[in-house]
Amino acid sequence: MIDQRLLRTDFDAVHAALARRGSPALLEDLGSAASLDARLRDIQGERDDVRAEVNALSKQVGTLRRDGAVAEAEALQAQSRELGATEKRLDAEHDDASAQLRELLLGIPNVPHADVPDGASDADNPIVTGPVGLPDTFPDWQRVPHWEAATQLGILDNERAVKISGSMFTMQRGAGATLVRALCQYALDINADVHEEVRAPSLVSTATLTATGQLPKFADDAYAIERDDLWASPTAEAPLTSIYADEILDDHELPIRLMAHSSSYRREAGSAGRDTRGMLRTHEFDKVELMAYATPTVAPELLADMVGRAERAIEGLKLPYRTIEICAGDLGQSHHRSFDVEVYAPGADVWLEVSSISWLGDYQARRANIRFRRHDADGKPLKGTEFAHTLNGSALAVPRVWAAIVENYRNEDGSITIPEVLHPYMRGITRIEPSSCQARRRLDAPGGSGTDG
């Protein structure tokens, strides 16, 4: 969440920055938060005065009793009890106002960085790199959408996935399933030089999703396990961000860079009927996530590094791509500055977002209470702590990269060539042949046997 102190020390600057997001309702909430903050300070001041008066009366009562002035002492005690009742009322008002203010602050998005471009929607996001590797034309056989090409090859079986789990679930088979795992291992391997691999839990607490900003705003898009007050993780960003919740790190430990392969679960409540064919939008998918904790001064450098890593992953796959910067009106809830890497899918004839890399400032760390302590030149800890900055991004999100490979690497005979960088992970498969359909049918037949190409 944003720093509550800014509501009283720099309200105009915060108002101007959030106005760039283009939401009048947001600015109304910001004004309400500032009013509640002022009300809280008034209550605190009044309560402090009452407490001081109660303490003073207590001392007087003690003196009067020692002097034998019982009647006067009892009168002051009665006055003290009345003040005690006032203090309890102020405590209740303070708790109520605090709860209201926290609820408002949880809903107010992050302040855009000064360098974030202006704009109202994704149509205003400028291209900052590319297009890279985009040919002038594509042959007709690459203009076949992946959901047709992959189904013909028997490596995508969404019909049975729907039978098993319902709409917007997918299932890869044979070499298609191997390709999913190969992409994840590839993404882990190319980032293992500086990112520590973590196998985080797939079920997370309400506090964990609140820390990253998914709750309370995006509750409808998450899968809730109400019996246990747990949620299916929508991204490994959630558990990775909370690893150091309520901890104080030393500045010499930073940056801490992590990565995780996980399944991600999203209800996509607002996407009914949109991009639901094939692998473009699904309720469950595999992803490798990058995460970093940093000091404010190092964070911009890490952002550039993470964008570069996402680009190099796509370059290694030799897919046409471009990188865009997200404008102020299209920024996510928690994002301070953000870039998307998109690949072109000739069959679907669309640019697909395959990685979103974001600098969150101290927005998430403030929610999760992740702090760090600075040290002087001699290594002596300085007084006080600061909130850390967090960054995250997809090293590789499988569904759309998988789809782009099927479309960009499709051959005239319908086969799919496997990108060379994935060969070490494909168990010797370098090409998915049309004959694999026959192999799949043999496997499906009662008592059948066979192998996928």
Where is the domain boundary, 50, 83, 107? 107
Predicted local confidence at residue 441, as pLDDT: 40
SS3 string, the chain, reads CCCCCHHHHCHHHHHHHHHCCCCHHHHHHHHHHHHHHHHHHHHHHHHHHHHHHHHHHHHHHHHHHHCCCHHHHHHHHHHHHHHHHHHHHHHHHHHHHHHHHHHHHHHCCCCCCCCCCCCCCHHHCCEEEEEECCCCCCCHHHCCCHHHHHHHHCCECHHHHHHHHCCCCCCECCHHHHHHHHHHHHHHHHHCCCCEECCCCCEEEHHHHHHHCCCCCCHHHCEEEHHHCEEECCCCHHHHHCCCCCCEEEHHHCCEEEEEEEEEECCCCCCCCCCCCCCCCCCEEEEEEEEEEECCCCHHHHHHHHHHHHHHHHHHHCCCEEEEECCHHHCCCCCCEEEEEEEEECCCCEEEEEEEEEECCCHHHHHHCCEEECECCCCCECCCCEECEEEEEEEEEHHHHHHHHHHHCECCCCCEECCHHHHHHCCCCCEECCCHHHHHHHHHCCCCCCCCC
Q: Which of 71-75, 277-281, 380-384, 396-400 has the lowest mean pLDDT?
A: 71-75
Same domain, 30 and 149: no
Predicted local confidence at residue 373, as pLDDT: 97
The answer to whether residue 451 is domain-embedded is: no
If pLDDT is split at 50, 70 and 90, which confidence band does 46 have? very high
* Alpha carbon distance, N-terminus to C-terminus of the chain: 51
The answer to whether residue 181 is domain-embedded is: yes
Predicted local confidence at residue 111, as pLDDT: 97
Number of domains in the chain: 2
Six-digit token string for 266: 């999203």
Predicted local confidence at residue 442, as pLDDT: 39
The answer to whether residue 386 is domain-embedded is: yes
Q: Looking at this protein, which amino acid is placed at residue 430?
A: T
Residue-wise pLDDT for 133-161, tens only, equals: 999 999 999 999 999 999 999 999 999 99
Q: Is the pLDDT of residue 447 over 70?
A: no
Name the β-bridge partners of 230. Answer: 205, 225
The answer to whether residue 177 is domain-embedded is: yes
Q: Which of 150-154, 279-283, 400-404 has the lowest mean pLDDT?
A: 279-283
Same domain, 367 and 254: yes
The answer to whether residue 184 is domain-embedded is: yes
Q: Which of 13-22, 99-108, 273-282, 334-343 has the lowest mean pLDDT?
A: 273-282
Where is the domain boundary, 73, 107, 141? 107
The answer to whether residue 314 is domain-embedded is: yes
Residue-wise pLDDT for 242-258, tens only, equals: 999 999 999 999 999 99
Residue 108 backbone dihedrals phi, psi, to 5 degrees: -85, 125
Percent of the chain whose predicted confidence (pLDDT) is above 90? 82
Same domain, 73 and 167: no
Predicted local confidence at residue 80, as pLDDT: 84
Where is the domain boundary, 79, 107, 135? 107
Same domain, 81 and 158: no
Q: CATH no. for residue 58?
A: 1.10.287.40
Average pLDDT of the chain, as a whole number: 92
If pLDDT is split at 50, 70 and 90, which confidence band does 275 have? low
Same domain, 91 and 166: no
Same domain, 140 and 205: yes
Contact yes or no for 391/306 (Cβ under 8 A)? yes
> Which residues have CB under 8 Å from 346's CB, separation 6+?
138, 142, 143, 407, 408
Six-digit token string for 137: 């034309």
The mean per-residue pLDDT over the stretch 230-251 comes to: 96
Residue-wise pLDDT for 178-191, tens only, equals: 999 999 999 999 99
Q: Is the pLDDT of residue 448 over 70?
A: no
Q: Is the pLDDT of residue 438 over 70?
A: no
The answer to whether residue 86 is domain-embedded is: yes
Residue-wise pLDDT for 190-217, tens only, equals: 999 999 999 999 999 999 999 998 888 8
The mean per-residue pLDDT over the stretch 21-49 comes to: 95
Domain that holds residue 57: 6-107
Residue-wise pLDDT for 64-113, tens only, equals: 888 888 788 788 888 888 888 998 999 999 999 999 999 999 999 999 99
pTM greater than 0.85? yes
Same domain, 80 and 131: no
If pLDDT is split at 50, 70 and 90, which confidence band does 270 have? low
